[in-house]
Amino acid sequence: MTAFNVVRFRVKPGHEQRFIDEHRKARPKFKGFIGGSLVRTGDQSFCVIGEWRNFKSLAAARPQMIEILDGLREMLEDLGGGLGVTDPASGEVVARLAATKSPKKRPARARRKTRRVTARRKR
């Protein structure tokens, strides 16, 4: 079953772009890793979200993820509350949330034609 991990960070002032650049150039070779995203959640706040084929793959990759984190640690601020520099969470997917589909838009040309016809009827 698919799994996700989410890790929250706060970057020291002045290190935001370097933190982003390090993630852009990263090419993790974790077995079972589907992909991920770095999300800016505030001026100095970020979350990494990773998608995995299953929880077993995610758990097996933790030592490698900590290795990557060790290379970024100097850029990170302590989050407080005894958390240290990360606030991680992970687990298996228990429900997928489907987006509702919006109606297809008509091409602009068709919309203009409709407006012309409507305008003629009003005269």
Each domain of the chain, given as residue ranges in start order, spans: 3-93
Whether pTM > 0.85 for this model: the answer is: no
pLDDT of residue 4: 98
Residue 112, classed as helix, strand or coil, is helix
Task: Tell the residue number behind the tokens 């100097």, with chain if given.
Answer: 74
pLDDT of residue 104: 76
Edge to edge, the sheet with strand 33-40 lists 33-40, 45-52, 3-10, 87-92
* CATH architecture label of 3-93: 2-Layer Sandwich (3.30)
**Which CA distances in Å does 5 have to 63, 64, 78?**
14, 14, 20
pLDDT of residue 11: 98
- pLDDT (tens digit, 0 to 9) for every residue of the chain, 123 residues total? 999 999 999 999 999 999 999 999 988 889 999 999 999 999 999 999 999 999 999 999 999 999 999 999 999 999 999 999 999 999 999 999 998 887 777 676 666 665 665 555 555
pLDDT of residue 102: 78
